[in-house]
Structure 1
Amino acid sequence: MKRRGLFYCQLGFTVLVCLFMIVPVVMSVLAGLTENYFIGLSSGLTLRWVEEVWRLYSDTIRLSIQLALACLVLTLLLGVPAAYALMKSSRRWANAIEEALLLPVAVPGLATALALLLAYGHHRDFRDSWLFILVGHVLFTLPFMVRPVLSVMRASDMQRLEEAAASLGAGFRQRFLGIVIPNCVSGILAGALMVVTLSVGEFNITWMLHTPLNKTLPVGLADSYASMRLEIGSAYTLLFLLMIVPLLITLQWLGSLVTRRH
């Protein structure tokens, strides 16, 4: 009886926490589909706020997807070799470099953006390009690719696997593409999940670096809440969820699929 009572207490607490997190999201979604939020559902449901958001802010959604995918590609190209180099380096230097990689995460995003502006803001064409925002996103998300990949490499005893492959005559390229990459796919997928979600939702760095022609989804969302009707901002939130949730589910599914195969 005591165990059953404890179970129901834990279940009730879990349900309350879930409701605390989910109910605001549901209310926001309903507000974006309601004719008049202040009257409530009795005013009727409509998609005109979603259509209005798409008309005004569709470019921010496309730019956010473009940034997230470009950020993912760059963090893969930089992060996986960096994790491999850290694994091969001496432990003391590897730890020092690994901690240094976390600086963009520890430093406030506004400070990172200000540093980028001071360093590269005088290059006018670069400053006005979305590539400037991309640099900030890569700086912020790179540790989230390096850490899980490095952890998987260390857990799978990669050095011993490489030594075995080298003893059979495999060159560096064969070892890296045939041994290292396949054995750290789970870490790569975990890092990809973090990189994409953080890039899509990143606000502080983006707000400081964006221009009127280069607004991302979070910046447009803030603008819509500040200057438009509440229904517009809520409809924007709905579009954000429709974009990010399927992406997260897909990445999670790929991760679980790879884990089962290994």
Structure 2
Amino acid sequence: MDYLALYVTLKLALITTILLMIIAAPVAYLLAYYRFPGKSLLEALVYLPMALPPTVIGFYLIIVMSPKGFVGRIWETFTGGSLLFTFLGITIASIIYSIPFAVQPMKAAFSKIDRRLLEASYVLGLSKRATFLRVIIPNSLSGIAAAAVLVFLHSIGAFGVLLMVGGSIPGETKVASIAIYEAVETMNYSAAGMIALSFIPISYAFLLLINRLNEDSRT
């Protein structure tokens, strides 16, 4: 059992989930409550990673994050290091790869809130920011939790995009899915089976949680 790969996987999934909850909430709020020119283009861009093959996402991330790329060049100028083949690099890749799974459930949850609650908060003198934090977020917890679960599950299962951006550096970028792939390549099926087996109870438990959250949201 490659415990180090499992550790990197869970660490990556947890960090991705936390960061995406922060990033996706205002994006979902914007898409749920505002009309503006180019809204459909922005929404399509947010959901685009869900429609693209992971290798396509990985390829363009390599282009952007390489020392000759726009982001990679800026990063290297300020830090002297590279984004590729680092934990930070695969974290960025994981965030981009999973952002649709955070925004969509949040947007759906925000859209279901009774507009009269929002109007009442404005009448009481709350600002839009205060309304978002004190009215929208508390009334959308099931949707936010569902988004967090989906992002976490999607992150632990990521493979192609992480392999392209991060390679397979033990303790740094080698996640469980890559460890399974490498074990199968070397015909070490027992090692691959042990790692694969560890995913089943985790994924099953989170799927049960999603079902429970969906049931609660209907009541």
Cα distance in 2 for partners of 1:59, 1:252 equals 31
Partner residue of 1:197?
153
Counterpart selection for 1:145 from 96, 102, 110: 102
Q: Do the aligned residues in 2 keep the contact of 1:217 with 1:240 (CA within 8 Å)?
A: no
Alignment of structure 1 residues 123-134 onto 2, 5 Å: 123=72, 124-134=81-91
Normalized per residue, the structure richer in helix is 1
| TM-score normalised by structure 2 residue count | 0.83
Query: CA offset at residue 171 of structure 1?
Result: 2.6
Further displaced range: 174-183 or 228-237: 228-237
Look up the equivalent residue of 2:194 and give its one-letter code.
A
**3-state secondary structure, aligned to 1:125:** coil
Alignment of structure 1 residues 91-102 onto 2, 5 Å: 93-102=38-47
- Is 1:136 the counterpart of 2:81? The answer is no
Q: Do the aligned residues in 1 keep the contact of 2:9 with 2:175 (CA within 8 Å)?
A: yes
Partner residue of 2:195?
236
Counterpart selection for 1:218 from 163, 177, 183: 177
Quote the sequence identity (%).
24
Distance 1:96 1:125, change over 3 A: closer
**3-state secondary structure, aligned to 1:218:** helix
- Is 1:181 the counterpart of 2:134? The answer is no
Q: Do the aligned residues in 2 keep the contact of 1:221 with 1:236 (CA within 8 Å)?
A: yes
Look up the equivalent residue of 1:231 and give its one-letter code.
S
**3-state secondary structure, aligned to 1:86:** helix
Cα distance in 2 for partners of 1:116, 1:228 equals 31
Distance 1:185 1:216, change over 3 A: same
Query: Unaligned stretches of 5+ in structure 2?
Result: 73-80
- Is 1:67 the counterpart of 2:12? The answer is yes
Query: CA offset at residue 186 of structure 1?
Result: 1.9
Cα distance in 1 for partners of 2:40, 2:168 equals 41
Cα distance in 1 for partners of 2:118, 2:15 equals 30
Map Cα deviations across residues 114-170 of structure 1 (whole Å, 9 max, x no partner). Answer: 111111122443223211111111112111111111122222244x42221010122
Query: CA offset at residue 71 of structure 1?
Result: 0.8
Look up the equivalent residue of 2:84 and give its one-letter code.
R
Please provide the CA RMSD for this pair: 2.1
**3-state secondary structure, aligned to 2:64:** helix
**3-state secondary structure, aligned to 2:168:** coil
Partner residue of 1:3?
none
Structure 1 segments (4+ residues) deviating >6 Å:
none
Cα distance in 2 for partners of 1:243, 1:150 equals 26
Cα distance in 1 for partners of 2:177, 2:162 equals 8
| TM-score normalised by structure 1 residue count | 0.71
**3-state secondary structure, aligned to 2:89:** helix
Further displaced range: 209-218 or 199-208: 209-218
Cα distance in 1 for partners of 2:146, 2:37 equals 26
